Structure 1
Amino acid sequence: MSIPTEPIGSIPRPSDLLTAMAEHAAGRLGDDDLAAAQDAAVADTIARLERIGSPVLVDGEQSKPSFATYPIAGLGDLAPDGAVIPFADGHTRQLPRLTAGPFRYGARAATYLQAARRHTALPVKQAVIAPSALSLLYPADGIAGYPRKAFIDDLVAEAEADIRGCLDAGAHVVQLDFTEGRLSLKLDPSGGLLEQFVALNNQVLERFTDAERARIGVHTCPGGDQDSTHSADVDYAALLPTLFTLRAGNFYVELAGEADPGRVLDLIAAHLPAQAGIFVGVTDPIDPAVETPEQVRDRVLEAARRLPAERLGTCDDCGFAPFADDTSTSRDTAFAKIAARVEGTALAAEALGA
């Protein structure tokens, strides 16, 4: 048998691109030169994934400012003092705050996909930010002349267009990044905020056909930035039953970094929707140690003992550098971990086939 394996998204940027980004931010490098450095990084990312033997490719988010903020980069009507996301090591990330409507994306994920596909004939996956994350842009005290309902209507339409544009542009699959799902339970242990997030995301997902949703997945993790997380202490038992009510064809679940992966697998088995694919994380981007193919194989085989093998796939726990300035993991380490995932998944498939 074969077992599908896919990257999650971001890969650390090469030093040339990091330098170009800094020079551009300082006003010493033009837009065209930055775009050239980004395209070179995309080409290198894809070439290295091909050499590893990855059956599905990503652009590594080399051109995104972050996995979450690409739709609003460069937009007006934003103030810097939005929602703050605290991480376990004490550092924070802050979203901007919307100051006026109507809300529109400034960039669409299909542009990244189209740029990546120029460098390969292999399947390319495209990650997009879940609309629930962007809902945090709207301030709690509202916006004069632009009620929250109008914002949500605009957000749902924009998120649908973002996903549909990727499907139409030939994405192998489209992945909604939903890291705020687990975080929501830290902010609101009652689960009310999580239910709001899921309901909002389902407003978007329900606009697609069953065949289209088979190419749409949702990724959950406890965050991963500068080798720290924002919600790893939140019990999966509180998240997964609600998460699996999302109308998605596939789920990508962080697992390698969990203290008790067997318990998580049992929770997945109890709540996974019929027909949905389940990709389990078998490499931990936060752990500096590179997994061996044999370790990956054993993790896959453990998952196969608890989950339907015909619906099982593997992935990395999360992206390796979801924010462009995150250099906590080296580029070479990321590719080494991906290589271990690809080889270890093949070893597991061979063992299961035998």
Structure 2
Amino acid sequence: MGLQQNTDHIQTTHIGSLPRPHDLLDLLKAKYSGRPYEPSELDTVLTRSVADCVRRQVASGIEIVTDGEFSKPGFFTYIRERFDGFESRPDQKLALFQKEVAAFPEYYAEYFKDAMMGGAILPIAPVVCIGPLKYKGEDKLTTDIANVKAAARAAGVPDHRVFLPATAPSGVGFNEYYKTEEEYFHALAAELNKEYRAIVDAGLLVQVDDPFLPDIFVEPGLDDGQKKRRAEMYVEATNAALSGIPAERVRFHTCYGINEGPRIHESSLAEVIGYVFKVNAGSFSFEAANPRHEHEYHLFEQVKLPEGKVLCPGVITHASNIVEHPELIAERLIRFANLVGRENVMAGADCGFSSQALYRTEVHSTVVWEKFKAMRKGADIATQRLWREG
């Protein structure tokens, strides 16, 4: 059996980000808004918060755990702090679900004001590559690894059941320095390899987060050939970043968005899955609890899962405060297991629950843990039916 495959039960995990505790949030807000704070206090609170986060994951039934991404307050902040060669551009326009926003302008005007971005300390500031890329995140990564390993040991979790998320090369800012997009992505991949390798060398799993791959297929102005070439470029760069790392130590995650909304302008899993399976990873996670995509399990009636690989479909969603019933979670898992094999299905979430730490989360922090408990119960029901009764 592969490292990530099931042996006698359905394993449970999630995608990474979790709501930060208030004392950690207060210190992060002070740091990133330029107010006075004590760095040693932030370090102490971060270590304590990660320990509590891992303990709560285990208590809620999560088997493959992480640090909640507590040291990374947001995607663009993480990039700026760990790479030379980028600068922030607060006025740079993001192509985030532009068709969706155009189709529902009134909804999204209220949403951006009151929901995800309501009460934000900092505006979302995209990054632009303006010089040679160089990884400089060694110290921060060393801290992340030390914190999560200590927390996992205290909770009785072995290192190989701990993962740390890291960004994929795709979507990391805009390029104004390298001559071509291919050159840019491969330069970024070479530097990301340093982070990926350090995580794996520490005995952990690395999770590569690529929410931008599906966006290619709904991007305005691209014909089919351009979409195909860009998707291939993303995969090539990701595999270059994974050079020298065994696939069984890699988790690959993709999704469609982090928000609650109509979500009608999203690509289908059928458009994306062929590229996903080209990534040198041992498991693949994607949205499957989102009601815009739940039906797509039927795709695996025609698409064959590569040998030894694991699907990690979302069986709880990050965009609704409704706690999924364990019977429904079990049903979702059994559907996939009947198509790809019970050893090849892991229970997961659609996406992270707090991808932007300094913004209000979609799902209340108290509800997240109830969703995890429901996922554990649903996985147990599925296990009973797939192993015991089968």
TM-score grouping bracket, smaller chain normalisation: 0.7 to 0.9
- The 3-state SS of whatever aligns with 2:252 is strand
Matches of 2:322 and 2:186 in 1, distance apart?
45
What's the TM-score once normalised by structure 2's chain length? Answer: 0.80
Matches of 1:149 and 1:104 in 2, distance apart?
18
CA contact (8 A) 2:16 2:69 kept: yes
Matches of 2:223 and 2:310 in 1, distance apart?
28
Pick the aligned partner of 2:216 from 184, 197, 203.
Answer: 184
1:194-230, Cα deviation, whole Å (9 max, x unpaired): 222112112223x225xx21111210110214x3598
1:267-287, Cα deviation, whole Å (9 max, x unpaired): 475143222111111000101
Pick the aligned partner of 2:258 from 212, 224, 228.
Answer: 224
Task: Flag the 1:102–1:179 CA change in 2: closer, same or farther, 3 A.
Answer: closer
Pick the aligned partner of 2:231 from 194, 206, 215.
Answer: 194
Pick the aligned partner of 1:20 from 14, 23, 27.
Answer: 27
* Deviation of 1:183 (Å): 1.4
* Deviation of 1:153 (Å): 4.5
Structure 1 equivalent of residue 144 of structure 2: 112
Structure 2 equivalent of residue 96 of structure 1: 127
* Deviation of 1:309 (Å): 1.6
Matches of 1:96 and 1:71 in 2, distance apart?
8
CA contact (8 A) 2:12 2:64 kept: yes
* Deviation of 1:150 (Å): 5.8
* Deviation of 1:35 (Å): 2.3
CA contact (8 A) 1:12 1:320 kept: yes
Matches of 1:162 and 1:233 in 2, distance apart?
30
1:96-140, Cα deviation, whole Å (9 max, x unpaired): 112112433435645413211112221311111112233x4422x
Q: Does 1:327 align with 2:365?
A: no
Q: Does 1:253 align with 2:289?
A: no
Q: Which shows bigger deviation, 153-162 or 104-113?
A: 104-113
1:32-53, Cα deviation, whole Å (9 max, x unpaired): 2222222222122112112123
What's the TM-score once normalised by structure 1's chain length? Answer: 0.87
| Counterpart AA for 2:289 | A
Matches within 5 A, 1:202-217: 202-205=239-242, 207-208=243-244, 212-217=246-251
- The 3-state SS of whatever aligns with 1:325 is coil
Pick the aligned partner of 2:49 from 41, 45, 49.
Answer: 41
Matches within 5 A, 1:139-178: 139=176, 142=177, 151-171=184-204, 173-178=205-210
* Deviation of 1:260 (Å): 4.9
RCO higher in structure (CA 8 A, sep ≥6): 2
Aligned residues, how many? 344
Structure 2 equivalent of residue 308 of structure 1: 341
| Counterpart AA for 1:287 | S
Task: Flag the 1:296–1:153 CA change in 2: closer, same or farther, 3 A.
Answer: closer
CA contact (8 A) 1:72 1:105 kept: no
Matches of 1:332 and 1:346 in 2, distance apart?
22
> What is the Cα-based RMSD across aligned positions, in Å?
2.6
- The 3-state SS of whatever aligns with 2:355 is coil
Matches of 2:264 and 2:68 in 1, distance apart?
24
Structure 2 spans left out of the alignment, 5+ residues: 1-7, 101-107, 118-123
Q: Which shows bigger deviation, 281-290 or 147-156?
A: 147-156
Matches of 2:356 and 2:341 in 1, distance apart?
34
| Counterpart AA for 2:244 | F
Matches of 2:213 and 2:126 in 1, distance apart?
16
Matches within 5 A, 1:54-133: 54-67=62-75, 69-73=77-81, 77-81=85-89, 82=92, 84-87=94-97, 88=100, 89=108, 91=112, 93-107=124-138, 109=141, 111-121=143-153, 122=157, 123-133=161-171
Q: Which shows bigger deviation, 254-263 or 156-165?
A: 254-263
CA contact (8 A) 1:250 1:277 kept: yes
1:295-353, Cα deviation, whole Å (9 max, x unpaired): 21121122222222221111011100111123222211111111111221111111111
- The 3-state SS of whatever aligns with 1:56 is coil
Give % identity. 23
Task: Flag the 1:79–1:156 CA change in 2: closer, same or farther, 3 A.
Answer: closer
* Deviation of 1:293 (Å): 1.7
* Deviation of 1:78 (Å): 3.1
CA contact (8 A) 2:82 2:136 kept: no
Q: Which shows bigger deviation, 157-166 or 31-40?
A: 31-40
CA contact (8 A) 1:10 1:61 kept: yes
Task: Flag the 1:102–1:299 CA change in 2: closer, same or farther, 3 A.
Answer: closer
Task: Flag the 1:71–1:302 CA change in 2: closer, same or farther, 3 A.
Answer: same
| Counterpart AA for 2:255 | C
Matches of 1:278 and 1:147 in 2, distance apart?
34
Matches within 5 A, 1:278-293: 278-293=311-326
Task: Flag the 1:74–1:14 CA change in 2: closer, same or farther, 3 A.
Answer: same
Matches of 2:251 and 2:262 in 1, distance apart?
22
